[in-house]
Amino acid sequence: MSKPNEYNLTDQDLVAAVLRGDRQAFGLIIKRTEGLVAQMTFKMISSPGDRKDIAQDVYLKVFKNLSGFKFKAKLSTWVGQVAYNTCLHYLEKKKLVLLEDLGQEENMPEYQIIEDSKHGTEEILIGKELTAILQKEINQLKPLYKTLVSLYHQEELSYAEIAEITSLPEGTVKNYIFRARKILKDNILSKYERNEL
């Protein structure tokens, strides 16, 4: 009988295999979630030397607590929660500011900062330059804003999934992402002439 395809294994299959002592199954959990964990640690933690330690700490916690996973969410969402809380604990210990305190303005409308370009080499090059500018400005955001924007736009998680990972209300997640976009737009427009964009 052939070995099951790793892509067909469900969260339940993987957890059960790890709890039986299958190290390869834990390797698959890491493989399936390492992008999410890397994205969060990279966006929340500024010190490159600490990022690797924190990522290792995340997976150590996941391994130790896997028997308590109740399947109320996707395994990747739970791993994301562990990563977020680990990064948050690090930031609190270092007394670093997650985000500036702004007034509570819920349910603000959303907008897109940059329209997608679909034609021509020149437009593609301009698009790449704009992407580089945008990424540079995202990296200047406070850790929580940077993380939320990355989870939403780069990891393509839903507001609900982000809310589950961060334990923030979904409305707050939407609001913070809106604020982060507004800060990005304001920063980009103040630093670059419109004709450069």
Same domain, 69 and 134: no
* Residues 151, 59, 94: CA angle, nearest 5 degrees: 70
Length of the chain as a residue count: 197
User: Is the pLDDT score of 117 beyond 50?
Assistant: no
User: What sign results for the dihedral spanned by CA atoms 64, 66, 70, 73?
Assistant: positive
Q: 0.75 cut: is pTM over it?
A: no
Segment 127-145 shows an average pLDDT of 78
Q: Are 169 and 163 in contact (CB under 8 A)?
A: yes
Same domain, 88 and 131: no
Instruction: Indicate whether 1 belongs to any domain.
Output: no
Cα dist from 82 to 3, 31, 79, 143, whole Å:
30, 16, 5, 16
Token pair recorded at residue 18: 């790890």
Same domain, 136 and 65: no
User: Is the pLDDT score of 187 beyond 60?
Assistant: yes
Segment 33-48 shows an average pLDDT of 89
* pLDDT-derived band at 126, boundaries 50, 70, 90: low
Element holding 42 (H helix, E strand) = helix 23-44
**Burial (CB count <10 Å: 0-12, 13-18, 19+), residue 14:** buried
Instruction: Indicate whether 70 belongs to any domain.
Output: yes
Same domain, 189 and 150: yes
Instruction: Indicate whether 98 belongs to any domain.
Output: no
Q: How far apart are CA 123 and CA 161, in angstroms?
A: 33
Q: How far apart are CA 33 and CA 29, in angstroms?
A: 6
Cα dist from 20 to 14, 34, 61, 100, whole Å:
10, 22, 18, 45
CATH (domain of 163): 1.10.10.10
Same domain, 52 and 128: no
Between these two residues, 134 and 20, which has the higher pLDDT value? 20
Segment 96-116 shows an average pLDDT of 41
Same domain, 21 and 59: yes
Total count of domains within the chain: 2
The parent domain of residue 145 ranges over: 121-196
Instruction: Indicate whether 109 belongs to any domain.
Output: no
Same domain, 79 and 127: no
Read off the amino acid at residue 194.
Answer: R
Q: How far apart are CA 33 and CA 26, in angstroms?
A: 11
Q: How far apart are CA 26 and CA 138, in angstroms?
A: 32
Instruction: Give the model confidence (pLDDT) of 152-173 as tens digits.
Output: 988 889 999 999 999 999 999 9
CATH (domain of 36): 1.10.1740.10
User: Is the pLDDT score of 118 beyond 50?
Assistant: no
